Amino acid sequence: MLNIHSFVFNPFQENTYIVYDELGNCAIFDPGMSDAAEEQKIVTFIEENKLKPIALYNTHCHIDHVLGNRMMYEQYNLMPQMHEGEIPVLVDVEHRAPMFGVRYELSPIPETFLQEGQIIQIGKHPLHILLVPGHSPAHLCFYQPDQKFLIGGDVLFRNSIGRTDLPGGNHQQLLDNIKEKIYSLPDDTVVYPGHGPHTTVGFEKTSNPYIRG
Question: For position 63, which CATH number holds?
Answer: 3.60.15.10
Residue 213 counted as domain residue? no
- CA 204 to CA 167: how far, in whole Å? 26
Confidence check: pLDDT of 167 > 90: no
φ and ψ at 26, to 5 degrees? -135, 150
- Are 74 and 105 in contact, with CB atoms under 8 Å apart? no
Residue 108 counted as domain residue? yes
Q: Please tell me the predicted confidence (pLDDT) of residue 39.
A: 98
pLDDT in tens, 40-70: 999 999 999 999 999 999 999 999 999 999 9
Sequence-distant (≥ 6) Cβ neighbours of residue 195 within 8 angstroms: 12, 13, 14, 15, 154, 157
End-to-end Cα, the chain, rounded Å: 29
Alpha helices in 49-146, H assignment, sequence order: 63-66, 69-76, 87-100
pLDDT in tens, 1-34: 999 999 999 999 999 999 999 999 999 999 999 9
pLDDT in tens, 80-126: 999 999 999 999 999 999 988 999 999 999 999 999 999 999 999 99
pLDDT in tens, 169-206: 999 999 999 999 999 999 999 999 999 999 999 999 99
Residue 212 counted as domain residue? no
Residue 121 counted as domain residue? yes
Region 156-166: what's the mean pLDDT?
97
Residue 154 structural domain: 3-207
Q: Please tell me the predicted confidence (pLDDT) of residue 36.
A: 97
Residue 17 counted as domain residue? yes
pLDDT in tens, 139-149: 999 999 999 99
Best CA proximity match to 89, nearest among 107, 115, 73: 107
- Are 93 and 107 in contact, with CB atoms under 8 Å apart? yes
Alpha-carbon separation of residue 139 from 2, 84, 97, 150 (angstroms): 23, 10, 20, 13
Residue 126 counted as domain residue? yes
Region 128-149: what's the mean pLDDT?
98
In this prediction, residue 213 has a pLDDT band, given cuts at 50, 70 and 90, of confident
Domain count, the chain: 1
